[in-house]
Amino acid sequence: METQHFIAVDLGATSGRVILATVAKERTDMETLHRFSNRLVCTGGKYYWNIYALYEEIVEGLRLAARRGVPVRSIGIDTWGVDMAFVAEDGTLAGLPRAYRDPYTGGIPEEFFRTIPRREVYERTGIQFMNFNSLYQLCAARKEGSAALKHASKILFMPDALSYLLTGEAVCEYTVLSTSQFMNPHTKRPDAELLAAAGIDASLFPRVVMPGERIGVLTDSVAHQTGLGPVPVVAVAGHDTGSAVAAVPAENERFAYLSSGTWSLMGIELPEPVIDDRTYTLNFTNEGGVDGTARLLKNITGMWLLEQCRTAWAREGKEYSYTDIMRMTEAAAPSGATIDPDAAEFAAPTDMPAAIRAYCRDHGLTEPADDAATMRLIFDSLAAKYAEVLQKLRQLAPFDIECLHVIGGGAQNELLNRLTATACGIPVVAGPTEATALGNVMVQARTAGMVGSLAEIRQHIRRSVRTRTYNPEKR
């Protein structure tokens, strides 16, 4: 296997990175060339993503890669799901993409269910009901008379919009389409009837591509700006969780995964979606994965609570590093009770610590006495929520779940991993922290002919990363 170099662009809801990966026979090594913030833009009471700023940061990362003087085989982009950009007839973007944190979808699902009943929507898509799903964003945009939507000739999900800016080629990548709640999970195409009920023509969505398909090459302009030349852009699992799950270093299929970041996503990997009375009642989602697999999972609010607390504390002049947080939570006493991380009160508060205190008062719980107690309450609550969701997964899984693989940034959180192992009653295998970028790179490497099956990808990743196992402790 000849050594090859790939670029992974990994964008989250709060930050992004451009990574240069070197893939050899025995292992993959990654270097972050460029790291940057991703901030919501709020204007006129509406929340947007500054896609042009993201594009500029990506171009800067590609420019840094070119300076290394190594031949880059391809580029892949992954982002969060559901959000979309509208492309006008002249090929330019019609405004900034709306952000899923915008409250404009409040009450929209209930309005839509008067046209197509809730149960039928689930049976047609297998997707967990969340206010901000793409289906309801389109309904909300149409309801408010969005000029961008009115003049759209194409609708692109976020990773596809960024690859469009780089290549000029418009595609609709399967895994990110699967988050929309308007994809038929059997045909893997947009459901024209659901979209029509939202007032949207399905032809606005371009051709669907699967992870591993080539999208195009960098435009002459981008090739010149960056100095990379006409490098191909490959569709990876455009939804970041799809890329992350591809990088789970599992030895067999009897595992659950927890992709831990701003959001926590817990689920299992299956060859086909599971859409029945149980998954409907439990509100589980069936998202697309690499090789057409289904990711039966639950979205859980994750480190969003802690991130927003840190933002609020920083405004007060209290800057807590990751090391500070670990030290303070280890020293704090276990919480007497827990909060629900998914409570509506925590979706987009202006002051998260105040929202947590108010939630405790409203539910008869003791308010955290200080910042350390607030951090510990968040960790204890997340562990309890993970145990609750895992118990439901056990009811749905066609196999015994033997361990929980924690991937993403949360894999570094030793206290939370210990609490989770104890709450769930099974071993927690933590790592890799860079799962999303690794999955992104390995799909590109497979397109280049360097690895074969998904099992081979995971075997290669086991050789490339170190993991740590946490066993349940006595309560």
Tokens of 75: 């580029």
List phi, psi (to 5°) of 18.
Answer: -115, 125
Bond before 427 cis per omega within 30 degrees:
no
At CB < 8 A and 24+ separation, what contacts does 357-362 make?
A: none
- For 289, the 3-state DSSP assignment is coil
User: Of 437, 410, 441, 438, which is closest to residue 10 (Cα–Cα)?
Assistant: 437
The 10 Å Cβ neighbour count of residue 106 is 14
Distance CA 378, CA 64 (A): 38
CA atoms within 13 A on the CB side of 397: 22
Rounded CA gap, 54 and 146, in Å?
23
Residue 43: CB partners within 8 Å, gap ≥ 6?
A: none
Selected catalytic residue, list 83, 240, 371, 380: 240
**Residue 371 a catalytic site member:** no
d(CA 402, CA 427): 8
The closest alpha carbon to 82, from 278, 299, 283, 275, belongs to: 299
Which residues are tagged catalytic?
240
